[in-house]
Structure 1
């Protein structure tokens, strides 16, 4: 059974192609102009009448072309009224708006409507997934954190139990950071994530406190230098997750030693130096942490540059295109 509102193939064939109709219009115009020129050349009609005939033929051709081009304009207005976040498409009726349109224009309109419906469905599934994942992943992590806090208050806990408890705590914090990063990347339609003006130095100080706790037990020393101070307009949580991923990547690259985080004018760098027995490699070619950092930097247009200097010096630098002064 034919879908309601969908024209039959016979009706579409009867409309013909827009290019054929335009070809007919301008073909007839050319013939009329040639005849008018011949009439003027052989003095069949006065030159004034010939010029008037040329103007009339050109005006009629332009009006006919405008009549057919109105279909394309209607399609353009219909497409322009749609936006990516729109989920209600009942107001878009291509078969009604283009009821007498050319077959090619009508087919294009229906194809766009199908695409818009698919994209709206994708956006709805994305919102449902991020909402459900945020709740279902964070809830057990919260339970684990509360349980570890209660176990830490137990007086009779052995040294081995306390070491195991600290490992669970560190793994839980790392899992929280990973979940946060994945949810940030999954929210394609909401990149803002609570945008505000924040001071980069303040966010980094707080992040390094948590980073030191998560790296506790590893032969890694975190240092922080701030020869510059600036602010950004964006999500402080997104910025913190990006820096934490680079710190983790630098820590895995060096294995042991010092990881230095430095605030530069309009940029933040993460540097680490590997030991003499370390097999140097270009860390930008591997590492899940760097892959997440790269995707976050691309999402928010924060230029990320990663390189190895002197064979064993890891340097990652994030440059921000619009730093703000700190008042």
Structure 2
């Protein structure tokens, strides 16, 4: 108990060290200036010497304060030069602080060191996950797709078997889109995503065959309206995943009808017209919208959801930095 009490006492003394040093510095400065001023008043020293001494005393006090502030300045430089992707945290170590550093500064340095270590570990796990998951999840999906295509070409497969194969292919495509979306959202930054100038209309048209394959056997039709054309600079893969999630949600929420994808200047809308699901089933498929919302927030593409008369459900994505193209 005595040892613990002495440690706490030493910690308390050390914690106020910075303030006491500042008090001593400014107290000595004030005393020296008073003495010098008295020397000038009683003609012990000429005015020029008094002024020179005051300047020298102030400069020495400033240097002393600057020396006391050096550990804080060092921490500020380390934080300013911090690269979140770097695993080298040698400059963050509290062991590099001077031995008589104030406890508040030492606590701040130790907390920052722990925080930087957690961020570095998180970034490393993110890279490992996106790399491993990208391979381990996509490879079996590719095998399932190839096997389903081979089964579909088998002439001995009956009607029931063909329907089952089509369901497998449809579910596989949906799983591919989900994996793609989750891998995009798993990344803290946009690293690994190829950015380029692309035409929105071309990307949507390229995705239509997969959507039609997903809708095979369902009383839902898909239409693409293109009253405008525009281009974006970014990742076409992210854009296609976002549109896929909105189209998939519109199809999941419908018993039948038409899903219309419309391209307007700087805007893409996905509209469902037709018979919606029963109220008891309508809440089963909100995951696609949650993913779309997170992608829109990540890449600053505002997403608006509306429900209008005539059972028209509208999802509208706005692209503030789009470039209009001739139709």
TM-score > 0.5 by shorter chain: yes
Tell me, which stretches of 5 or more residues in structure 1 are unaligned? 1-7
Q: How does 1:1-327 map to 2 (within 5 A)?
A: 13-14=13-14, 16-30=16-30, 39=38, 43-44=41-42, 52=52, 54-90=54-90, 92-96=92-96, 98-275=98-275, 287-310=286-309, 312-326=311-325
Q: Distance in 1 between matches of 2:239 and 2:176?
A: 15
Q: In 2, Cα distance between the equivalents of 1:182 and 1:59? A: 59
Alpha carbons 1:192, 1:234 under 8 Å: kept: no
The CA deviation at 1:304 is 1.1
**Deviation per residue, 1:201-236 (Å, 9 max, x gap):** 100001122111112222221111122212112111
Paired residues of 2:212 and 2:222 also in contact (CA < 8 A): yes
CA distance in 1, matches of 2:122, 2:276: 50
Q: Hey, what's the Cα distance between the residues in 1 that align with 2:70 and 2:227?
A: 62
Q: 1:98 to 1:201 in 2, by over 3 A?
A: farther
Give the Cα–Cα distance (whole angstroms) in 1 for the partners of residues 91 and 144 of structure 2.
48
**2 CA distance for matches of 1:34 and 1:266?**
72
Structure 1 residues 183 and 273, CA gap change in structure 2 (3 angstroms)? same
Could you list the runs of 5+ residues in structure 2 that have no partner in the other structure?
A: 1-7
Query: Which is further off, 153-162 or 81-90?
Result: 81-90
Cα distance in 2 between the residues matched to 1:282 and 1:140: 31
For the aligned residue pairs, the C-alpha RMSD in angstroms reads 3.3
Q: Residue 230 of structure 1 aligns to a residue in which SS?
A: strand
Per the TM alignment, residue 318 of structure 1 is displaced from its structure 2 partner at its CA by 1.2
Answer yes or no: is the 8 Å Cα contact 1:282–1:308 preserved in 2: no
TM-score between the two structures when normalised by the length of structure 1? 0.84
Name the residue aligned to 2:5. Answer: none
1:239-271 alpha-carbon deviations (Å, 9 max, x no partner)? 111001111222233432111111121221111
Q: 1:84 to 1:67 in 2, by over 3 A?
A: same
Q: Is the 8 A contact 1:200 1:232 kept in 2?
A: yes
